[in-house]
Structure formats: C-alpha cells, structure tokens
Amino acid sequence: MQVQKAPNDNWWRGGVIYQIYPRSFADSNGDGIGDLPGITAHLDYVASLGVDGIWLSPFFTSPMKDFGYDVSDYCDVDPMFGSLADFKALIARAHELGLKVMIDQVLSHSSDQHPWFVESRSSTTNAKSDWYVWADAKDDGNPPNNWLSIFGGSAWQWDTRRCQYYMHNFLTSQPDLNFHNPQVQTALLETVKFWLDLGVDGYRLDTVNFYVHDAQLRNNPPRGRPDGTDAAVTAVNPYGWQWHKYDKSQPENLEFLRKLRAMLDQYPNTAMVGEIGDDDGLACLAEYTRGGDKLHMAYCFDLLGPEHSAPYLHGVISRFESISEGGWPCWALSNHDVVRVASRWGGSAHDLAKLKLAAAMQLSLRGSSCIYQGDELGLPEAEIAFEDIQDPYGITMWPEFKGRDGCRTPMPWDGKAADLGFAPAGATQSKPWLPVAESQRALAVSEQDGVKDSLLTYYRQILQWRKTQPAIQRGDLQLLPVSDLVFAFVRGFEGARVLCAFNFSATATRYALPADLHGAQALEGSGLSGGTLQADSLELAPWGGLFARLG
C-alpha cells in the first residue's frame, strides 16, 4: 500500500538558503567558539536579508578533528555549541521569523570515536563488524586497492585490532560507513527521523554521492598527472590524478536516496539539498534531483572555482539545462570549503561592482541559491598564519594549499569591537578559535547596515525584489547567444518573461539582442546598475548588468 505523502509548499523551489558555520557566526558566552544561542540572537539579521531558510553546518557531538564533520553522536548537540534545548529555541525563533531550518547530515562516515566504530573495530565477529568498510591487505601488506583520500594519501588505514584496513575518504579519524549493510541504512535513517521529529525543515547532505562504494573494491582508472590545462586536477593533491569510478557515485546510492526522500515526504514542507563532489558534478546533480523521488536539489563545484568568464558560465548552464530533465540545482558561489567569492571572483581589490554582478547572476539562475555567511558583506578570504591554522587539510597540504580556515574566520558584526563583535560586549573574553580578520573590519555589519551603496544593502534590495519576480524564482531558462563578455538569458513563467544580462568583464560593451527580444523595458527595483536598453541592443558598463521585462 502506498504511503500518503505530507503536503509540500515547495518553498525550496527557487528559495534562497543562508549557510551558517556555527563555530564562526556568533559566540554567546565568550569562550571563543560560536554557538547555537549566538545564532538565535542574530536570526533577526538573517531574516532581514530576505532569505527563506538557513543551513546549519554540523553542531552534533564530535571530537572536532574535522570541526563537526566527524560525528560521534548523531542525536545530540556538542556541549561547545549548547544543548538540545538551545536547538529547540533556535528552531522556534527561526520559525517565528519565517525562516526554515536545514541541518547538515554527515551520513557517509562517522568519527572513529562513534560507539558504532568502537564496536566494529573491536573484532571481526562483533554485531557491528560489517558496519564500516573493512578489507584485508594484499599479500604484500599493501591496501586492497588504489583509492585515495581527499585529504592526502591512501583511503585505507591499517587497524591493529582487526589486522585489516578500513576505508576513509577524508581523515583517518573519519571511517566510512558500509551502506551495503541494510542495518547501517536503517540506523542512519533513524538519526534523520530524530531531527525531523524535533521540527527541522530539511537537510543539507554532506558528500551525498560518497555513500556507497564498489563492493568489489576495483581500482580507479588513472587520470594522469596535471599538465596545467585541467583546473580540476591539482598538482598538490593526487586525489585528482585518477577517475573516481568505483569509490563513489555508485548506482546503489540512488536507492538509499529514495529511502531518504520517502522519509522526508512524510513530513510537511521539508527539503534536501545535497553536496555533489564528482568527476562530472553536473551530470550527477541532474541524476540525483530528477524524478521527484531523490534529492529536492543539489549543488556541485562548477561555480565554486576561480573561473567566471561569460563563456564559462554559459557553458556550465548550457550543459546543465541540456541534461537536467527536470533536475533542480541549488547554485552556490561560496561555502565553508572554498576560497570566498570576493577573492576568487572579485580580484585583489574585491571590486564592489563585480560582487554585485555575481550576486545578481547567481540569484537569477534557474534553481535555488545558497549564500554563505559574510558573502553579503563582500568578505575577502582571510590570511591565516601557519601557527594559527586549524584545518587538518591545510596543515597536511601546506604551503601550496593553506586549507579552508581563510573562509571560516569569525563573522564581523561590529567594526569597532576588538573581536569584531563575535562575542557580546562584557562577556568573559577568550581568544576566538580562529583569529579575527582585520581585512574585514571595514566590511562589518555595523559599517554597512543602512549605508545606501553598501553590498549588504544591495543584497537586501535584490532579495526582496526577487520575491516579486515569479519568472526569476520559478521560471524556465533560455540562454541567449554566447559572447566573450556578456552572459545573458531569459527567464519565463506563466507568460511573464525577464531578460537577465551580465557583463563579466572590465570593458564596456554592446550586446545585440535577438529580434524577438527587441522592445524590452528595463525593470526597476533590483539595485543592479550599469546597463541601458537600446531598440535592438544592450549597452553594458564594465561589470554592469540589467534586468528587463519582455512583451
């Protein structure tokens, strides 16, 4: 018998999600680490932006070897962040403000301190002996295959208790769960249900295509050393030197996603967004979100790198639109894993016009959007001295890759405060877990709030304006001819059509419009500037853009 689905208002379809990294958002007690009460105290600010929901990076019990992405208890709050009561208060306040709450579920792996792994590694015959990915050594003692860890070196770690290797796609302290075991899937689904019953509105699923590995443990084929032409293959991390055919993105992954979706469908107005890290991220994104029975939406890393020329953007969107078959993307330009967009796309001067243009482009693509905390302020990547680095990825790869700490420094609330207002005035101060970035002081919320031409004001304006444009929120997308400088497309919904054009260059340019777009009328209220309409063309200033009504 088919189970009746709960109603879903599709708030996520075309919605905007604001990512909060709890350690760095706001510290309510002055211990140097952000926490849940700190987030709750600043939810009014988040709501004022005009976003639809928040995504909270992990706050579960953890030894914090990877800052919460190594979970030792899926159903409790780590004391450094607060308590379950604090989390319930956060949900209640968010809902009062009309914000949905999505939490980060790390299902592909756990901490090596999780009771499941402690039992699993204790012997080859215990009740959870097959809950993780264990394998015998080759006859010469080497690991069972050539799989690599993203954080460097082999994906296999020798364990002297079982005299076997266990698999870890990330740190050795993050063993991979064995999704070929139905008991593992059932246990993980129970942890998902726990938070749904507490009232969360959905999930961001970490490394969602990593859940299932090839049961035969076949070697990945070589990709080759980088030759400088492929930005996806880096010289400092050999992970990119092979095609990841067998260690992730396996067909069985889809069946687990269907089980996840079936569970969420029993709760009203819920949604899932998945993180896709794959050799062909766009194809995986499309596969995982089409059909209405897996993820609601997902993002990959195609817009999270340095490339942002008009031809590149046209190519990314053109390919996705050609293969999506109804799939739904959630476009992100920054998150806690990559260099901030103000530094990647904004140039050394973090040009304000570039950042406004990037935001306008992101928020007008077909799909949903995710904004990382501080991007609405134009925060640049922070410089972190080696002695202050916390990220194990950066410590391993130093100095050519400095890790992810530069995008994780404390949120600057008050440009006049010594700690940028990360902790409340008068609190017993401890040193923040990462140093505050002096380069961000002039960009603090206090310095931009209410300032007419600030990026913060612009984000509020365009997010509120976007809510009045159903064609941009939910419409289809028609790409206009590719240009060396201009990325342009038309969004259409129920007869309404909106032209969106962006000059991704430092050169003023004229962009000829197709004949069926002549006579467009400029749309007011978005805050985007630098574009004027002629009868048959657009005149776009450097880093200028324009929205126009058609028909």
77-106 pLDDT, tens per residue? 999 999 999 999 999 999 999 999 999 999
Chain mean pLDDT for the chain: 96
* Neighbouring residues of 387: CB distance < 8 A, sequence distance ≥ 6: none
Which tens digits make up the pLDDT trace of 406-441?
999 999 999 999 999 999 987 767 899 999 999 999
Phi-psi sector, 167: left (phi>0), alpha (psi -120 to 50), beta: beta
CB 165 within 8 A of CB 199: no
The two tokens of residue 390 are 């916390």
Q: In the predicted model, is pLDDT for residue 548 greater than 70?
A: yes
List of residues 6+ apart from 85 with CB closer than 8 A = none
Residues catalogued as catalytic? 206, 275
297-299 β-sheet, strand order: 297-299, 271-275, 202-205, 100-105, 53-56, 16-20, 368-372, 330-332
pTM: 0.97
Phi and psi angles of residue 53, each rounded to the nearest 5 degrees, phi first: -165, 175
Rounded distance between C-alpha atoms, residue 26 and residue 410, angstroms: 8
What single-letter amino acid sits at 211? Y
Angle between helices 182-198 and 252-264 (to 10 degrees): 30
What separation in angstroms does the CA of 42 have from each of 27, 64, 151, 495, 512? Answer: 10, 24, 34, 39, 45
Give dist(CA 70, CA 58) in Å, integer: 9
Q: How far apart are CA 427 and CA 30, in angstroms?
A: 5
Give me the mean pLDDT over the 478-487 stretch.
Answer: 97
d(CA 62, CA 70): 6
Alpha-carbon Rg for the chain in angstroms:
23
| pLDDT score for 234 | 64
How far apart (Å, rounded) are the C-alpha atoms in residues 246 and 225? 19
Mean pLDDT of 199-205: 98
**Predicted local confidence at residue 123, as pLDDT:** 98
Three-class DSSP category at 491: strand
What domains can be seen in the chain, in order of their start residue? 16-108+182-215+251-466 (3.20.20.80), 110-176 (3.90.400.10), 475-550 (2.60.40.1180)
pLDDT tens, residue by residue, 303-353: 999 999 999 999 999 999 999 999 999 999 999 999 999 999 998 888 999
3-state secondary structure of 314: helix
Phi-psi region of 25 (alpha: psi -120 to 50; beta: other; left: phi over 0): alpha
CA distance 291 to 472: 22
User: Looking at this protein, which amino acid is placed at residue 387?
Assistant: E
Residue 229 predicted with pLDDT over 60: no
Q: Report the C-alpha gap between 165 and 142 in whole angstroms.
A: 9
Q: How confident is the model at residue 448 (pLDDT cuts 50, 70, 90)?
A: very high
pLDDT above 70 covers a percentage of the chain that reads 98
- The tokens for 235 are 């010289």
Q: Nearest-CA neighbor of 107 among 256, 269, 244, 250?
A: 256
Amino acid residing at 100? K
DSSP helix/strand/coil, 178: coil
Q: What does the pLDDT average to over 445-467?
A: 98
